Structure 1
Amino acid sequence: MQLVDKLIYYMQYPFVKYALVVGILIALCSSLFGATLVLKRFSFIGDGLSHVAFGAMAVGSVLKLTNNTIIVMPVTVAAAILILMSGQNAKLKGDAAIAMMSVGALAVGYLIMNVFSTSANVSGDVCSTLFGSTSILTLTMGEVWLCIVMSICVIAFFCLFYNRIFAVTFDESFTRAIGKNAGAYNLALAVIIAVIIVLAMNLVGSLLITALLVFPALSAMRVMYSFRSVVLYSAVLSVVGTLAGMLVSILFSTPVGSTIVACDMVIFAFNSIAGKVMRR
């Protein structure tokens, strides 16, 4: 009962409501494309792009930009395009390109923050950027509306081009054979993943974003057998896991990003057990 009273008390504050709205939107957007990344065996693009976003955010912090999204968003989108183009190069495979860009951006970002930062707590700034911070609870109304608009665009793209996304996910050769530009849809997917990652950095941190993309999809695949049902169920699981993680974080003062990922792990374990029971 005391926890319920505490939750009701916190829900009176607008910044808590803003954080929950943004968290749910980010979870929904990331879950829609998680199944595609898993099935295309391209899950680690989220990891690579999140490290690039960390490097860009480090530059923004050194330049003392009031809104790091101005530099983080275009840099991350450009990195997504570069990774996609590198993956088509016979001399440099996609996984190698992701590994190089991921480690390089992470190292350069940490170096910049140590050499040029004027903050008295560089280690704390780096840790909060990598693993999530309380900045999700300090969102302005403008940032909330930006997230809402971007989320609507992402969801609209998925709904409008669902059939094309389905085709590209399972058979790119067939997609090209019927006269569709598979490369353009792959490029659009990479750009959208980059946008989702930038939006999610304040929620779970750059090192934990891949979990937000992959865990709900893998959980849904344990009990569902069609692409549509996997996407819908993963969306439900992602929203539930994120909401539960944020509420637990608010009530018990635990790290937001780590708590959300822990909830996703519990959901994955439950669905794995449920899948085995259903197959029996």
Structure 2
Amino acid sequence: MIEMLDLEFMQRALVAATFTGLAAPAIGTFLVQRRLALLGDGLGHVALTGVALGLLTGIAPLLTAVLVAAAGAVVIELMRTYGRTTGDVALAMLFYGGIAGGVLLTNLADESAASLNSYLFGSLITVSTADLWLVGALGLLVIALAVGLSPQLFAVCQDEEHARVSGVPVQAYSILIAVLAAVTITVAMRTVGLLLVSALMVVPVATAQQLTRSFRATHLAAMVVGLLAALGGVVTSYEINAQPGPTIVVLALAAFGVATLAGAVARRRRTVTT
């Protein structure tokens, strides 16, 4: 364990995992509240196109992924609000268009599909110092906005019509949630991977819901679960020589299983005592 911490790439991976573990559930809580849990998957596929665009143009893939995913988030929110396309159809378009665009641009860049592997499932050794600075800045931004604007975002997620009548700029906050989700996906790209990041946005929230009663408690507990899963997954993946993304998700799912059992036992005890 101590020897692992002496490795620079592991130090960078653990710092990146810290931002990922906190940011993903921080914004994922609002996606779950809005019943848009699969939005992260759709935006992950769009971010894949951004990565491929970076490989094609020679620009840092992390930066192009942020820009393309954010643009996709705005488009999907506008389609959901003003278009005649339903939410599930719009998400399906994100899935298919993102994959197709990513593979096509990768081929045009004379890169093999294998070159996308570290972006799809995460990699411990690919987190550079430059990536870490960008991940840290974006992660802090997501966490600060998700926590600082929690009352307003919750109002929009809970009841859009009531929030609109109350004077809350629903459209602006809805777009903000989608954009923050897109930014979070690119933050988690190096550790969890684009195909699995949605799990870290949803599973810790579902885990926290088994043990908490209020939205605020769920929000904070989900961030704690996400942080522990991310850090534990990075350490475990190093020890067993596996990719971090699947390891992180498996640990998060294990935590959900334990929380479900604990929650069931606690509810049964309350029922018996009453």
TM-score, length of structure 2 as denominator length: 0.93
How far apart, in 2, do the equivalents of 1:129 and 1:15 lie?
Answer: 16
Judge which range, 193-202 or 86-95, deviates more. 86-95
1:41 correspondence with 2:35:
yes
Moved more, 165-174 or 155-164: 155-164
Residue 118 in structure 1 maps to residue 106 in structure 2: no
| Aligned residue type for 1:93 | T
CA distance in 2, matches of 1:236, 1:130: 24
Mapped partners of 2:254, 2:260: distance in 1 = 10
Gaps of 5+ in 1: 1-6
Q: Could you tell me which residue of structure 1 aligns to residue 189 of structure 2? A: 201
What is the DSSP-based 3-state SS (H/G/I as helix, E as strand, rest coil) of the residue aligned with 1:201?
A: coil
- For 1:176-255, what aligned pairs fall within 5 Å after superposition? 176-255=164-243
Shift, 1:90, TM fit: 5.1
Distance in structure 1 (CA, Å) of the matches to 2:33 and 2:144? 22
Structure 1 residue 106 and structure 2 residue 99: aligned? yes
In the TM superposition, residue 178 of structure 1 has moved relative to its aligned partner by 1.2
Root-mean-square deviation (CA, aligned residues, Å) is 1.5
Specify the alignment match of 1:8 in structure 2: 2
- Structure 1 residue ranges (4+ consecutive) displaced by more than 4 angstroms after TM superposition: none
Which residue number corresponds to residue 272 of structure 2?
none
Inter-CA distance 68–123: structure 2 relative to 1 (3 Å threshold):
closer
Structural mapping, 1:113-192, within 5 Å: 113-114=106-107, 116-119=108-111, 122-132=112-122, 134=123, 136-192=124-180
What is the Cα deviation at residue 108 of structure 1?
A: 2.4
Q: CA deviation at 1:17?
A: 1.1
Amino acid at match of 1:41: R
- Encode CA deviations 1:208-264: one digit per residue, 9 max, x unaligned: 111010000001111111101101111111111111111001111011101111111
TM-score, scaled relative to structure 1: 0.91
How many residues in Structure 1 have an aligned counterpart in Structure 2?
Answer: 268
One-letter amino acid of the counterpart of residue 118, structure 1 = D
In terms of mean alpha carbon deviation, does 239-248 or 68-77 score higher? 68-77
CA contact (8 A) 1:87 1:95 kept: no
Letter in 2 for 1:130: L
Matched letter for residue 73 of structure 1: V
Q: What SS is found at the alignment partner of 1:211?
A: helix
Instruction: Decide which of 83, 87, 97 is 2:76's aligned counterpart.
Output: 83
Q: Secondary structure at the match of 1:88?
A: helix
Residues 172 and 130 of structure 1: CA distance in aligned 2, closer, same or farther (over 3 Å): same
Contact kept in structure 1, 2:62 and 2:131, CA below 8 Å: no
